[in-house]
Amino acid sequence: MIGYLFNAKAGAFLYNLFHHKGVAVVIGIAGFYLQHVPLEFAGIILFAHAAMDRMFGYGLKYEQGFRFTHLGIIGKEHSPERI
């Protein structure tokens, strides 16, 4: 979220970097391989967080702004119950 203080492009890049499940898997495997429990735990937490975000409908971000994701536009005015 700190990236959005600079601009939407930086915000989307940083958000997507830390919410990509592949990055979480690499961190978790690195922690396992290096026998570094905090790193392994960080990978597990990142993976769970990214999966939960997808479950709630928050996808990877586009550069147009925070509300524009690969799963659609998020926000109350775009919720399915209003259609």
pLDDT grade for 82, boundaries at 50, 70 and 90:
very low
pLDDT at 78: 54
pLDDT digits (tens, 9 = 90+) for 3-43: 877 888 888 898 888 888 999 999 999 999 999 999 999 99
CB atoms within 10 A of CB 24: 21
Among 39, 55, 41, 47, residue whose Cα is nearest residue 22: 47
Judge whether residue 83 has pLDDT over 60: no
Q: What is the pLDDT of residues 48-77, one digit of tens each?
A: 999 998 888 888 888 887 778 777 787 766
| Residue 45, pLDDT score | 96
Q: Where are the beta strands (DSSP E) in 13-75?
A: 61-62, 65-69, 72-73
